[in-house]
Amino acid sequence: MTDTRSNAAKIGLGAEPELTPVAVTRWSARLVDPQVEQDYLLHRFADDRRRVLLLTGLVALASILNFLVSYLTNAPSFEATMIPTIAGIVMPIVGFCIALRLRSPHVLQTLMMVAIVVGTLTRLSMLTLRPDTADMWTTLMVGIVFVIYLYLPIRLAGSVAVAALFSCVAPFWWLQVLGDVLPPDVFYRGLVWVLLANALGFTAANSLQRSQRMQYAQGLVMRHLLSTDAMTGIANRRRFDAALAREWRRCRRAGAPLSLLMIDVDHFKAYNDYCGHPQGDACLRELAQVLVEAIGRPGDIVARYGGEEFAVLMPEVGAAGALAVANKLTAALRQADIAHPRSPAGPRLTISIGAATAKNLTGEPASLVEFADRLLYAAKAAGRNQVAVGQLTPAGTIRAA
């Protein structure tokens, strides 16, 4: 049942989707996780809409050419030729205009299912009015089946339903229109071709949609791995920088504050020198887990900034909230009771925190990092195991909170 699976469990908070597991069903060709499937449809929406616009444009162009040919050849009946042809021009143009305004992949799929039903009935009606074109029936049916399966941006289940409905209606319509004039062998060969087209169309569409979703899922896994710190399992510097730029823009538009905690482990070099680097890595992993568990909001980002330095990005949190979170982190670390045999500050691991808040977001997001770093050094200069809090003002200075 599963084609792609990530074994990497997400440790940390933020906007990244859960990637365990990322799987594609075998027969319905859908991502098992409904949220990931929805994200995939949104990811594909722009391309799918372009395909729809191209298809409706080509159908309208073909109908215009057909109208000109009918006019130049002096068709025997206006009702038999011109009215269906004009309808074949107007409806694709209307569909083109509607598709331009769509913003939802689900509405686009619904529109396509309605459009294929209406368009098919129109084409069948044109052939009904022109029985002399009966030799086009098989080609028309097979072509429509392949368009339904391979071109329209519809989920596989929807494609199967529409193609099955068409495959039942079209041969019956064909038989009713021609009656005794239609040779039985021609009719049965047409049925065989329609069944073969459905089998090939389903197989190709299933393979195509599964491979597209697998590629999307693999991209998610790759982005997750590239944005995760290999040692601690939380967000890395790359993901932190991207989140900072994104939240800076969002909070500036919303007029909301943005807070950043820069965290440094006190006397970590002495810890590494005494306990060794493997134990030091284990200590950082344990600290990362403590930080993650102490941060309660899903929108906050806990990241390893570099070495023994960590960062916590908190959108829509003011200076008072940043101080409360910083105190919560130090209390959680005391509760964890991690030993530090060589710390001048005491027998337990401690951290220093610089808590910076930007209320009026002007300039570049790097300014918030610079201020938080200055606050961190102020906390370390004050004797470590301290929290220094400040607010970034538009003038670029630090104001004590």
Percent of the chain with pLDDT over 90: 42
Give the pLDDT score at 2.
39
d(CA 263, CA 70): 77
Find the mean pLDDT for residues 270-277. Answer: 89
Region for residue 267 given its phi and psi (left: phi exceeds 0; alpha: psi -120 to 50; beta: otherwise): left
Backbone φ, ψ for residue 330 (5° rounding): -65, -35
Q: Which of 64, 92, 274, 166 lies closest to 158, judged by CA?
A: 166
**What is the per-residue pLDDT for 85?**
64
Task: Point out which residues pair with 339 in neighbouring strands.
Answer: 348
Report the pLDDT value the prediction gives residue 151, as an integer from 0 to 100: 87
**Among the listed residues 292, 291, 296, 355, the one whose alpha carbon sits nearest the alpha carbon of residue 329:** 291
Write the pLDDT tens digit of every residue in 285-322.
999 999 999 987 888 999 999 889 999 999 999 999 99
Confidence (pLDDT) at 304: 94
Mean pLDDT of the chain: 84
Are residues 319 and 41 in contact, defined by beta-carbon separation less than 8 angstroms?
no
| pLDDT value at 177 more than 70 | yes
8 A C-beta contact, residue 220 and residue 36:
yes
Count CA atoms closer than 13 A to 172's CA, side-chain side: 7
pLDDT digits 0-9 by tens, 190-246: 899 999 999 999 999 999 999 999 999 888 888 888 889 989 989 999 999 999 999
- pLDDT value of residue 385: 92
Q: Of 380 and 22, which is predicted with more confidence?
A: 380
CA distance 32 to 40: 12
How would residue 17 be classed by pLDDT, with cut points 50, 70 and 90? Answer: very low
The band of 179, judged by pLDDT with boundaries at 50, 70 and 90, is confident
pLDDT at position 16 is: 42
The mean pLDDT of 274-279, rounded to a whole number, is 90
pLDDT at 65: 83
pLDDT attached to residue 250: 92
Residue 135 or residue 100, greater confidence? 100
pLDDT of residue 247: 94
pLDDT tens track for 68-92: 776 677 655 555 555 666 677 888 8
Strand order in the sheet with 398-400: 301-306, 309-315, 258-265, 351-358, 387-392, 398-400
The separation between the first and the last C-alpha atoms of the chain, rounded to the nearest angstrom, is: 55
Reported as a pLDDT band with limits 50, 70 and 90, residue 333 is very high
Report whether CATH 3.30.70.270 matches the domain 237-400.
yes
Residues 20 and 233: beta-carbon distance below 8 Å: no
User: Quick one: tokens of 93?
Assistant: 């143009």
The residues of the chain that CATH labels 3.30.70.270 are: 237-400
